[in-house]
Amino acid sequence: MSRLAKKPTNIPQGVEVTFQEGTLSVKGPKGSLSITMDSRVVVEIKDNEAHFIVKKAEIESLALWGTYAAHLRNMIEGVTNGYAKKLEVEGVGFKWEVKDGKIVMALGFSHPVIVTIPEGLSVITEKLTMTISGLDKDKVGQFAAIVRDYKKPEPYKGKGIRYAGEYIRRKQGKKTV
């Protein structure tokens, strides 16, 4: 049973939360987000607090109860502050740049890797770092994972794309006699 959903979610000033016909919408200073919810969970909004109510106490509906509470907290954080993920690239000749809504990456292949930036996200590239930012935590994290998947860091020299601050466990390699 969810402990997150038992507590009411506080709605900060400047953020508007509405629940109509199974759609939970959040509007804030940076933009707006919405999700479609399952009919087994209902949201009541009163006194700048959102209360999640389960219609019938079943295993699946109780799991959704906590999930939707976490989604609302993430949506409120997104429309007030936004989310960002930082990636780093390491390797000789590895580089990236943003051109016309696409990321063009040179990752040691015989061809450049081109990735289209999804709507609602912004990407800023510097020499060896890339910052992916947006309102939706899921979209930011998913796109960062997609970009990282093109060249995961290898364990011998550490070449590849990694999250900022990510520790790569190194292997020793061949020993010389």
CATH number at residue 151: 3.90.930.12
Query: Does 172 fall in a domain?
Result: no
The pLDDT of residue 4 is: 74
Q: How far apart are alpha carbons 37 and 21 in whole angstroms?
A: 9
Please state the rounded mean pLDDT for residues 119-139.
Answer: 94
Domain residue limits at 69: 9-80
Composition of the chain by helix, strand, coil, percent to 5: 20, 35, 45
pTM for the model stands at: 0.88
What stretches of the chain adopt beta strand conformation (E)?
9-10, 16-20, 23-27, 32-36, 41-46, 49-54, 83-90, 95-99, 102-106, 113-116, 121-125, 129-134, 160-163
State how many domains the chain has. Answer: 2
Q: How far apart are alpha carbons 145 and 163 in whole angstroms?
A: 9
The pLDDT of residue 59 is: 84
Same domain for 49 and 114, yes or no, is no
Q: Is the pLDDT of residue 39 over 90?
A: no
Query: Does 168 fall in a domain?
Result: no
Same domain for 90 and 145, yes or no, is yes
